[in-house]
Chains A and B, each alone.
Chain A
Amino acid sequence: MRRRAILVYGAAVVGAVALMLFVGWWRVDGPGAPAPVGQRPVTLTEMDFRLTDHEGNAVGPETLIGRPTMAFFGFTYCPDVCPTTLSDISGWLDDLGDEADEMNVVFITVDPERDTVETMAEYVGYFHPAIRGWTGPEEQIARVADGFRATYERVPAESGDYTMNHTASVFLFAASGRFVTMIDYHEPKEFAVPKIRRALEEEMEGAT
Chain B
Amino acid sequence: MKKYFLTSTLAALLTLGGLSVPALAGPEDVVVENAWSRASIGMNRPGAAYMTIRNTGDEPVTLIGLTTPLAMMPEIHETKTNAEGVSSMSPAGEIAIAPGESVALEPGGLHGMLMRLQEPMTEGETFPLTLLFDDGGEVTVEVPILGIAARGPED
Contact = CB atoms under 8 A, between A and B. Distances in A.
A175 to B, nearest CB: 24
Contact of B116 (A39, A79, A122, A159): A159
A123 B44 CA distance: 13
A10 B96 CA distance: 67
Contacts of A39: 84
A163 B84 CA distance: 19
Nearest to B77: A80
B73 A80 contact: no
A50 interface: no
Contacts of B113: 79-80
B20 to A, nearest CB: 21
Interface stretch (A54-62, A86-94, A197-205): A86-94
B9 interface: no
A47 interface: no
A76 B40 CA distance: 11
B108 A123 contact: no
B151 A84 contact: yes
Contacts of A165: 86-89
Contacts of B45: 76-77, 79
Interface stretch (A101-109, A135-143, A150-158): A150-158
B115 A80 contact: no
Chain A interface extent, by class: 20 to 34
A167 B84 contact: yes
Nearest to A81: B87
Contacts of A168: 81, 85-87
A127 B48 CA distance: 18
Interface in B37-56: 38, 41, 44-48
Nearest to B115: A159
A184 interface: yes
A83 interface: yes
B79 interface: yes
B148 interface: yes
5 contacts: A39-B84, A122-B41, A158-B73, A167-B84, A185-B81
Given A77-B45, A80-B107, A168-B87, 15 more contacts: A39-B84, A77-B46, A80-B108, A81-B81, A84-B108, A86-B149, A91-B151, A123-B41, A126-B147, A158-B73, A158-B75, A159-B46, A161-B115, A167-B85, A185-B108
For the complex of A and B, list the 8 residue pairs with the smallest distance between their C-beta atoms, beginning with the closest.
A84-B107, A165-B88, A159-B115, A168-B87, A79-B48, A169-B85, A126-B148, A79-B46
